[in-house]
Amino acid sequence: MNIDICIVAFSQSACVAQAGAANEVELIMPQLEAVYSQVGISNAQDVDFVCSGSCDYLQGAAFAFVAGVDALGAVPPIQESHVEMDAAWALYEAVLKIRMGHAESALVYGFSKSSPGELPVVLSQQLDPYYLAPQWIDSISLAALQARLMLDKGIIKASDMAAVVAASRRCAMDNDKAQLAGQFSISDLLEEPEYVSPLRKADCSPISDGASAMIICTRSKAEEWQVPFVRLSGIDHRIETHNLGMRDLTTSHSTRLVAEALSIHNSSLDIAELYAPFSHQQIILEQALELQAETEINPSGGVLAGNLMMASGLSRVGEVFNRIVAGEAIRGLAHATSGPCLQHNLLAILESS
């Protein structure tokens, strides 16, 4: 189906360590209001489809996403769906809906309230329930295993990881939504003690509460709304085997597969927002994508500066959108990931109109 999908609005809350007394509705509504006003509409009745991404286990309440529906004004009833994944995949579902002709516009949002629980421990329950989950291997430990493999193979040095962190903190100083920002030298960072060896605390993304929202539509709808738009010219994803022992954890096979499917290698990219929750993973992704020197990586600071679990993937798309709309870039790439050690990866290409 050759329908031009356009992104017309995006908003993200500040990434905060603890949102405190704020339930799903209170986190989501300000972001919804922001995207509605960017486009000039008043509520979810004015779009054809709504899709959200979230994970109940982050807050410890089954059906947390149902509460999110209360923020939408779903009377009269609306066409609405949900994925228990990062909202980048909700974006994917919405794209399919538009491509099949069942919608001309869609609202996509994701929210994260990770602070109530212990996120890395919660994520250990993503693992095989018979062999791995009962061992409670948390997500940071798995990432640490991956980093160790890379160091031992000589693919990276500790200073390379610190360089990623330093760049993130520095770029984050220009991002008023970021949680962690500042000027740090590589040696400053290397002086910090190891946290889960060989990772230092700064190598791990922080835990953040917040939400993000986006509106997409067909080109004719964007023209009807008379708003600036960015074309979503490609979106695709791939998942790998769950067996960590069967994967080469020092490369991202699925990211490479998606890049090939979207003809990303050797194409011109001004910016790339990569969802790398750990510093060494950014390097893995850069290599799988064969990013060239002219591509600016994570100008927002990336998720090392603030990680809205379940919304960060959508936010990467949003950060690229913002910069293209502002005229700072012509073509950009956004990436989202899910699962231990980059098991599942999604890529989106955005181009100016």
Closer residue to other proteins, CB minimum distance, 75 or 293: 75
Instruction: Please name which of 115, 151, 147, 157 lies closest in space to residue 15, comparing C-alpha atoms.
Output: 115
Q: How far apart are CA 108 and CA 136, in angstroms?
A: 33
Which 321-350 residues touch other proteins, going by CB under 8 A?
338-340, 343-344
Which 235-254 residues touch other proteins, going by CB under 8 A?
236-243, 253-254
- Shortest distance, position 56 Cβ to other proteins, whole Å: 6
- Shortest distance, position 209 Cβ to other proteins, whole Å: 10
Q: How far apart are CA 94 and CA 110, in angstroms?
A: 13
Q: How far apart are CA 218 and CA 262, in angstroms?
A: 20
Closer residue to other proteins, CB minimum distance, 1 or 293: 1
| 74 touches other proteins (CB under 8 A) | yes
Which 179-208 residues touch other proteins, going by CB under 8 A?
none
For other proteins, what does the binding mask look like between residues 129 and 158, x meaning CB under 8 A? xx--xx------------------------
DSSP 185-250: -HHHHHHSPEEETTEEGGGBPPP-EEEEEEEEEEHHHHHHHT---EEEEEEEEEE--S-GGGS-TT
Q: Are 322 and 190 in contact (CB under 8 A)?
A: no
The only residue of 4, 17, 34, 99 in contact with other proteins, by rule CB under 8 A: 99
SS3 265: coil
Q: Read off the amino acid at residue 285.
A: L
Give residues with Cβ within 8 angstroms of 129, minimum separation 6: none
The tokens describing 175, both together, are: 């991002």
Interface with other proteins (CB under 8 A), residue total: 82
Closer residue to other proteins, CB minimum distance, 94 or 202: 94
Which 100-129 residues touch other proteins, going by CB under 8 A?
100-102, 115-118, 121-123, 125-129
Q: Are 24 and 117 in contact (CB under 8 A)?
A: no
Which 2-21 residues touch other proteins, going by CB under 8 A?
19-21
The only residue of 39, 44, 161, 348 in contact with other proteins, by rule CB under 8 A: 44
For other proteins, what does the binding mask look like between residues 256 and 285, x meaning CB under 8 A? -x----------------------------
Closer residue to other proteins, CB minimum distance, 7 or 85: 85
